[in-house]
């Protein structure tokens, strides 16, 4: 995280962004594997924790390093391996596009594994027989954008034992939205044991893998688990059953090998290249590492000690993700049928394919003439993500990994360094926030499932920082921070319109303040930056010819469970003591669900009631609360209250709708505790306070925090 002094230097943020772009160029697109992503993350920490040089010579040197890296990797790269894969369902496209021997073997295996007796009725909801069938022999793969192939993609290597880490993007195409379960054809099996985070998902969809062996692999060795079909002369394929290995001979050059994965968890393949190709791969990787190190040393001045806190936060974040669902760290998990994740990624893939085909108008339509299914933003984000990160969800992972740094920055804005660092570490490492205020695992869980809620909240928090300012001095009057702050809020609303009330209060207050002190550049930045929020209404008008501000599901009975008319009915029942209408019990449970908070437990209601009371106190009586009278904390509190009001009308029983509400509440409560609550507790319970402070565990924790604080300062 950059120092405030560095941020104040003209052009510093832009230089950091440009340095990050050079880092991506040195690694090469797509960044779709764990090794490349870890290297990019390490470079990002170095860039944003240090100071990027403004010297022209430094930038010329960095550009030369990147150019050499790109040219060198292209020269050293061995021929890529054509790789094709697809779901296998008996269909005309596969029958016509695959070799006859291959299709016959696959269909025979399919009929054995899924006999007619276990198949769902085509007319039933969610049946695979009533959905879409493969319309091409090989599925589209985003990995093939920069490395084209006549199959799905041109791979640098073949080495997989788990299809989740083989990054088979077709499994989340929208037409495979199945609800069926075993023993019928189904999407996936989940291991719910808490310690199986790295192997949480098992792909159950029938599929196949085909590779064409290039001449550069002659002398290498192909090993496999399961059944494969190996091409011989005349496009005939011989069946090899069971686990085996085979040397690649000159006659195999250009021939195809097909792995059959009709039965789940039966196929694994590893292609070991000959020494000549292996040395080229090793040299290319060494060149990339050297270019990364050279780029950072040329452009960035940084203190290694200042990278300690970022790496601690990243390490704890990765650990939390691995416990929940390790596939989020670079694999492609099969989303549940009917789930938001399958919808957003499925339509994102369609948008990307339309873009690549030159159909810009169809891509902008986004699969719906009038947006209905939640916020539209995530589907477009998914399309962009697949361009940069290929067949992976590393783009969304980047947002999640950014969250702890945003939280730390927001805590630093209103709290002392020790408090800010402690709360940030607790937010990431311990799920205490699941009881009050939300916790990092909350966001990980829903982001891993592909839902839009975490992305919306992260963008809101990111926009909050430049609007309220990075220090206690508050925001300045500059145009650019206001522009990007408002833009991030607008993008957050596009992800999930439910945060619109909080954004309206925040921007309204910031705009009125800028108008009052005549900060015209800042006011212009707020207005211009927020304009993209109207793109949703523009889309609905152009494509659907209706005026819908955000999405048309705003009045859906499953979401708007307590409309104003229901509250009026509840009030009437209370006054007349006539409870036959049922509105009063509905209102009671709505309030109970709201105050249950992120824990979704009635046991946490007293804690959440206290939090809301503190929030009201700070907003209404903020001036005596803080001698310095920081109006921006009160504005954040007012934004939180606006979101609490949403919970009175919209489904409060779904905790993920209200993560932002309780996070902002927690922020205000923690500031209250720091400035008033702790002193009151010490005065009221002096003996207990002394025992807590003198406890050996408290002393060790304080010592560790002091060392981290020293490293980060």
CA distances from 82 to 72, 209, 257, 266, 501 (A): 22, 11, 11, 22, 50
Per-residue confidence (pLDDT) for residue 441, from 0 to 100: 94
Tokens (6 digits) for 571 = 């009030």
> Which segment of 91-95, 508-512, 678-682, 698-702 scores lowest on mean pLDDT?
698-702
What would the pLDDT profile of 157-184 be if each residue is shown by its tens digit?
999 999 999 999 999 999 999 999 999 9
Per-residue confidence (pLDDT) for residue 430, from 0 to 100: 86
Q: Has residue 484 got a pLDDT over 70?
A: yes
Q: How confident is the model at residue 322 (pLDDT cuts 50, 70, 90)?
A: very high
What would the pLDDT profile of 363-422 be if each residue is shown by its tens digit?
999 999 999 877 799 999 999 999 999 999 999 999 999 999 999 999 999 999 889 999
Give CA–CA dist 537/531, Å, rounded. 11
Residue 26 near residue 63 (C-beta atoms within 8 A): no
Query: For helices 56-76 and 12-27, what crossing angle results, to 10°?
Result: 20
Per-residue confidence (pLDDT) for residue 365, from 0 to 100: 95
Q: What is the DSSP letter of 329?
A: G
Nearest to 73 by CA among 240, 290, 222, 249: 290
Tokens (6 digits) for 708 = 């981290």
Per-residue confidence (pLDDT) for residue 133, from 0 to 100: 92
Q: Has residue 626 got a pLDDT over 60?
A: no
> Which segment of 74-88, 199-213, 623-637 scores lowest on mean pLDDT?
623-637
Residues 6+ apart with CB under 8 A from 473: none
Give CA–CA dist 273/78, Å, rounded. 10
Per-residue confidence (pLDDT) for residue 200, from 0 to 100: 93
Task: Tell me the average pLDDT across 507-513.
Answer: 96
Q: How confident is the model at residue 472 (pLDDT cuts 50, 70, 90)?
A: confident
Task: Tell me the average pLDDT across 618-639.
Answer: 78
Per-residue confidence (pLDDT) for residue 690, from 0 to 100: 76
* Secondary structure element (H or E) that encloses residue 230, with its range: strand 227-231
Please measure the distance between the N-terminal and C-terminal CA atoms of the chain and give it in whole angstroms.
11
* DSSP per-residue string spanning 233-291: GGG-EEEE-SSEEEEPPGGGTT-EEEEEESSTT--EEEEEPPHHHHHHHHHHHHHHHHH
H-type alpha helices, 11-85: 12-27, 34-49, 56-76
CA atoms within 13 A on the CB side of 6: 19
Q: Has residue 232 got a pLDDT over 60?
A: yes
Give CA–CA dist 710/713, Å, rounded. 5
Tokens (6 digits) for 462 = 């990111």
What would the pLDDT profile of 574-606 be if each residue is shown by its tens digit?
888 887 788 999 999 999 999 999 988 999 999
Residue 209 near residue 258 (C-beta atoms within 8 A): yes
Q: Can you give the three-state secondary structure of 304-324, one letter per residue?
A: HHHHHHHHHHHHHHHHHHHHH
pTM: 0.94
Query: For helices 440-448 and 417-429, what crossing angle results, to 10°?
Result: 40
Q: How confident is the model at residue 10 (pLDDT cuts 50, 70, 90)?
A: low
Residue with tokens 């019928």: 184
Tokens (6 digits) for 461 = 């928090």
Per-residue confidence (pLDDT) for residue 5, from 0 to 100: 39
């Amino acid at each position: 995280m950059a120092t405030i002094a560095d941020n104040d230097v003209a052009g510093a943020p832009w230089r950091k962004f440009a340095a990050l772009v050079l880092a991506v160029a040195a690694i090469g697109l797509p960044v779709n594997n764990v090794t490349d992503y870890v290297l990019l993350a390490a470079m990002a920490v170095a860039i944003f924790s240090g100071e990027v040089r403004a010297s022209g010579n430094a930038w010329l040197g960095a550009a030369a390093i990147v150019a050499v890296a790109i040219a060198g990797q292209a020269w050293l790269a061995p021929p890529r391996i054509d790789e094709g894969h697809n779901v296998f369902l008996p269909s005309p496209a596969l029958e016509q596009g695959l070799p006859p021997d291959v299709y016959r073997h696959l269909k025979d295996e399919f009929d054995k594994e899924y006999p007619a007796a276990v198949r769902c009725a085509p007319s039933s909801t969610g049946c695979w027989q009533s959905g879409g069938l493969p319309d091409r022999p090989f599925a589209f793969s985003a990995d093939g954008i920069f490395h084209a192939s006549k199959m799905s993609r041109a791979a640098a290597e073949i080495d997989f034992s788990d299809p989740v880490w083989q990054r088979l993007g077709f499994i989340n195409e929208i037409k495979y939205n199945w609800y069926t379960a075993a023993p019928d054809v189904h999407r996936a099996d989940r291991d719910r044991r808490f310690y199986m985070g790295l192997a949480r998902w098992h792909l159950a969809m029938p599929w196949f893998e085909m590779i064409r062996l290039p001449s550069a692999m002659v002398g290498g060795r192909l090993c496999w688990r399961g059944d494969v079909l190996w091409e011989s002369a005349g496009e005939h394929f011989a069946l090899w059953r069971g686990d085996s290995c085979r040397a690649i001979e000159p006659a195999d050059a250009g021939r195809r090998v097909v792995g059959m994965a009709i039965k789940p968890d039966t196929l694994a393949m590893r292609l070991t290249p000959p020494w000549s190709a292996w040395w080229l791969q090793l040299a290319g990787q060494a060149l990339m590492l050297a270019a990364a190190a050279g780029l950072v040393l040329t452009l960035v001045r940084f203190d290694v000690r200042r990278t300690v806190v970022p790496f601690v936060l990243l390490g704890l974040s990765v650990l939390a993700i691995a416990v929940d669902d390790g596939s989020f760290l670079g694999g492609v998990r099969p989303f549940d049928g009917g789930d938001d994740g399958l919808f957003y990624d499925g339509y994102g893939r369609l948008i990307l394919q339309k873009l690549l085909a030159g159909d810009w108008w169809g891509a902008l339509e986004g699969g719906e003439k009038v947006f209905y299914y939640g916020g539209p933003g995530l589907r477009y984000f998914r399309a962009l993500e697949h361009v940069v990160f290929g067949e992976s969800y590393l783009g969304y992972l980047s947002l999640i990994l950014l969250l702890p740094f945003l939280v730390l920055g927001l805590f630093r804005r209103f709290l002392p360094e020790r408090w800010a660092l402690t709360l940030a570490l607790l937010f990431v490492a311990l799920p205490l926030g699941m009881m009050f205020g939300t916790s990092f695992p909350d966001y990980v869980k829903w982001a891993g499932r592909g839902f839009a809620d975490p992305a919306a909240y992260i963008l809101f928090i990111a926009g909050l920082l430049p609007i309220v300012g990075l220090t206690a001095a508050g925001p300045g009057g500059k145009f650019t921070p206001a522009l990007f702050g408002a833009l991030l809020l607008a993008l957050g609303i596009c992800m999930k319109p439910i945060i619109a009330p909080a954004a309206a209060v925040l921007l309204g207050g910031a705009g009125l303040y800028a108008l009052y002190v005549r900060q015209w550049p800042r006011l212009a930045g707020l207005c211009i930056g927020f304009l993209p929020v109207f793109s949703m209404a523009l889309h609905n008008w152009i494509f659907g010819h209706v005026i819908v501000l955000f999405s048309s599901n705003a009045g859906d009975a499953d979401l708007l469970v307590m409309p104003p008319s229901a509250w009026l009915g509840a009030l009437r029942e209370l006054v007349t003591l006539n409870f036959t209408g049922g509105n009063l019990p509905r209102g009671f449970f709505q309030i109970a669900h709201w105050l249950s908070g992120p824990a979704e437990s009635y046991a946490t209601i007293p804690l959440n009631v206290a939090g809301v009371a503190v929030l009201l106190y700070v907003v209404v009586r903020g001036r005596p609360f803080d001698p310095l009278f920081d109006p921006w904390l009160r504005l954040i509190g007012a934004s939180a209250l606006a979101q609490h009001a949403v919970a009175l009308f919209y489904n409060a029983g779904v905790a993920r709708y209200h993560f932002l509400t309780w996070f902002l509440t927690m922020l205000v409560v923690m500031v209250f505790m720091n400035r008033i609550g702790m002193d009151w507790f010490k005065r009221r319970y002096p003996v207990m306070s002394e025992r807590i402070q003198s406890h050996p565990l408290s002393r060790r924790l304080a010592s560790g925090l002091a060392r981290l604080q020293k490293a980060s300062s």
